[in-house]
Chain A
Amino acid sequence: MTWSRHCRAQSRVDSAGVGPIKGKRRQRGPRFRWALHLALLPMALTVLFCYIGTVLWSVRISTTTSRTFPASDFVGLAQYVRLFNSERWLVSMQNMVLFGAVFMTLTLVIGFLLAVFIDQKVRGESVLRTIFLYPYAMSFVATGLIWQWTLNPELGLQSALRRMGLSGFTFDWIVTQDKVIYTVAFAAVWQMAGLVMAVLLAGLRGVDDEIWKAARIDGIPAWRVYVSIVLPVIAPSVATALVLLFLSVVKVYDVVVAMTGGGPGTASEVPAKFIIDYLFGRANVGLASAASTVLLLTAVAAVAPWMYARSRSERRAQLGAA
């Protein structure tokens, strides 16, 4: 068994017709396999214990009554029932949906527009790119804190505009229960729009110039070419951007903690924060694990179709090449 595998590993060298002579190879062989196994040990341990093991354990704990320490009883889906009866979890989920809708739409639209406009052979392109992308280099915590201060109703944007003469100007969404989540989404857009721009710009730069020449000859307006031809061509870049954005929606945590702390009240709570709070603050590990399982399924539901499409198109490309 080991030997046949070993031969397969060696066949890459042999197929080039330059394999080492037989006796020598037999001597060296086993040593190579040892080195390979040793080198892959960290990855194997990580995958087995840190990735597969933790996920299984989390799912298992979600079926127990664990409080601070893991219990070993079994209560079926009781924690899930409790979870979806919890007002705070429902608010969190609703906020994630609202945040996701606003954040993904705005980030994609702004990122796409920035990429398209930057692709018009403008002067100072690299300066503009640097400006659009710098927020992404900062942490979500910093982003949250900056916008918390800028949108502060007493001393921030609202007061500044009032002092400039717009005495009736009101913008206090950050302390308004049913508006606060939009301000968080807004801050996240500011941070991530540059990333979408970078991803889509790479896609745009891969579009064949012939398309543009043909369109110019036919007299098709530029916006029409972008919508009808270029957008479908760069669809894979758009899909990548979409998946990245969706994952950051599922993971959103830092920016909420820094900007609003989940408040006012529980108005800007999100699922990731719910889990951390119940794991470490409120010592309800069973409920938190049920919540993290739901979050896991959400992430998988989004990524699985994308990965499937990816691997299919890759296989097609490989077949085409062969």
Chain B
Amino acid sequence: MNAPASDVTAGVAVARPARVRPRRPWLTPARLGVYGFLLISAAFFLLPLYVMIATSLKTMDQIRLGAIFSLPSQPALDAWVQAWSSACTGLECRGIQVGFWNSVRIVVPSTVLSILVGALNGYALAYWRSRWAGWLFAVLILGAFIPYQVFLYPMVRGLAFFGLFGSLTGIVLVHTVFGMPVMTLLFRNYYASLPQELFKAARIDGGGFWRIFFQLMLPMSTPILIVAVILQVTNIWNDFILGLVFAGRENQPMTVQLNNVINSTTGERLYNVNMAATILTSLVPLLIYLVSGRWFVRGIAAGAVKG
């Protein structure tokens, strides 16, 4: 069960001291084959990114020529400005920025809350074992494998009962609930990998449950907190279905708004604006990915459980 996460705690994922490199001629046919394959693959993976950026910088006149791979003849950021501030979803034409700020308002509290709960669960499970908590944890992990669709309707009814359906609080709670399995697993495995003596010493010194958590464990959790923040910000930012169902019209996250901008417009489709909007929506997770590098990989090794 915790194989993905044990990669994380061991810190193996891709990071490893370089092997001793035997000297040998590097331009053999086999080497050429290896580099050829890797370069062609890289081109395939980068092509859509190029198309997206090039299209967003073109004018609609150039796009209508139908040469999707050509460079923009008169690169301009007009499409970006339009996507950000005046693209239309239905009758409203305030641009993708509305979704951007909604996403920020959803992501920040959801990330904080889900990490806090996950860390607390992980701490309780790793140090204060009780049998029923173990069972809860097993069910929780099992829940991570179940498609969201199974939970949706009862949760909608439940949230509506408390008057939270379609509210910011509602969507934050939903993200906390669905982020809990991975966050708990992440922190449980991290705390289990710390030396037990630390905890014992704190107990002897008279530390209570909360005091050990806030004054000893949390300050020691920096590495795993970074992984958790990366994981949750990326996951919640990229979420579509929960935002679509639970956020309500007022709080539509950026992904939902992006899909509305592109797939429910009437009249001519402005492909340059569409691609600019797509880039803008992907910008936050892409920046996190590029800046965090190895941390991101550690995160997906653990968070991949969620699928």
A residues near B (Cβ < 8 Å) are 5, 9, 12-13, 16, 18, 20, 28, 31-32, 35-36, 39-40, 42-44, 46-47, 49-55, 57-58, 61, 70, 110, 113-114, 117-118, 120-122, 126, 128-142, 145-147, 149-150, 152, 154-157, 159-160, 162-163, 190, 194-195, 198-199, 201-202, 205-206, 209, 236, 240, 244, 247-248, 250-251, 253-254, 257-258, 261, 272, 275-276, 279-280, 285, 288-289, 291-293, 295-296, 299-300, 303, 307, 310-311, 314
Residue contact B148 to A156, C-beta cutoff 8 Å: no
Cβ contacts under 8 Å, B55 to chain A:
149
Extra 18 A-B pairs, beta carbons < 8 Å, given A42-B120, A250-B147, A276-B152: A9-B129, A31-B208, A134-B290, A139-B240, A139-B281, A139-B285, A146-B278, A155-B66, A156-B68, A160-B67, A247-B307, A253-B241, A272-B147, A276-B149, A276-B241, A292-B149, A295-B147, A299-B147
Cβ contacts under 8 Å, A5 to chain B:
130-131
Cβ contacts under 8 Å, B31 to chain A:
120
B residues near A (Cβ < 8 Å) are 1, 3-4, 7, 12-14, 16, 19, 21, 31, 34-35, 37-38, 41-42, 44-49, 51-52, 55, 63-70, 117, 120-121, 123-124, 128-131, 133, 136-137, 139-140, 142-143, 145-155, 157-158, 177, 180, 184, 200, 203-204, 206, 208-210, 213, 234, 237-241, 245, 255, 258-259, 262-263, 271, 274-275, 278, 281-282, 285-286, 288-290, 293, 296-297, 300-301, 304-305, 307
Residue contact A244 to B136, C-beta cutoff 8 Å: no
Residue contact A42 to B117, C-beta cutoff 8 Å: yes
The answer for the CA separation of A253 and B19 in the assembled complex, in Å, is 42
Residue contact B153 to A145, C-beta cutoff 8 Å: no
Residue contact B66 to A163, C-beta cutoff 8 Å: yes
Judged by DSSP, the binding face of B is helix
The answer for the CA separation of A130 and B209 in the assembled complex, in Å, is 42
| Residue among A198, A240, A300 making CB contact with B13, cutoff 8 Å | A198
Given the contacts A32-B208, A43-B140, A132-B41, A155 and B271 also touching, CB distance less than 8 Å: yes
Residue contact B7 to A202, C-beta cutoff 8 Å: yes
The answer for the CA separation of A162 and B214 in the assembled complex, in Å, is 64
Residue contact B154 to A53, C-beta cutoff 8 Å: yes
In the complex, which residue of chain B has the Cβ closest to the Cβ of A276? Answer: B149
The answer for the CA separation of A314 and B210 in the assembled complex, in Å, is 32
Residue contact A140 to B240, C-beta cutoff 8 Å: yes
| Residue among A36, A126, A141, A149 making CB contact with B274, cutoff 8 Å | A149
The answer for the CA separation of A131 and B19 in the assembled complex, in Å, is 23
Cβ contacts under 8 Å, B209 to chain A:
32, 35-36, 39
| Residue among A32, A117, A293 making CB contact with B37, cutoff 8 Å | A117
Residue contact B293 to A195, C-beta cutoff 8 Å: no
Residue contact A205 to B203, C-beta cutoff 8 Å: no
Given the contacts A202-B7, A251-B307, A296-B150, A128 and B38 also touching, CB distance less than 8 Å: yes
Cβ contacts under 8 Å, B1 to chain A:
307, 310-311, 314
| Residue among B12, B63, B204, B297 making CB contact with A18, cutoff 8 Å | B204
In whole Å, how far is A131's beta carbon from the nearest beta carbon of chain B?
5
Cβ contacts under 8 Å, B293 to chain A:
126, 130
Cβ contacts under 8 Å, B206 to chain A:
20
In the complex, which residue of chain B has the Cβ closest to the Cβ of A202? Answer: B13
Given the contacts A13-B200, A134-B286, A155-B68, A139 and B237 also touching, CB distance less than 8 Å: yes
The answer for the CA separation of A118 and B14 in the assembled complex, in Å, is 11
In whole Å, how far is A80's beta carbon from the nearest beta carbon of chain B?
15
The answer for the CA separation of A33 and B52 in the assembled complex, in Å, is 56
Residue contact A137 to B286, C-beta cutoff 8 Å: yes
In the complex, which residue of chain A has the Cβ closest to the Cβ of B136? Answer: A47
In whole Å, how far is B248's beta carbon from the nearest beta carbon of chain A?
13
Given the contacts A141-B281, A190-B45, A251 and B147 also touching, CB distance less than 8 Å: yes
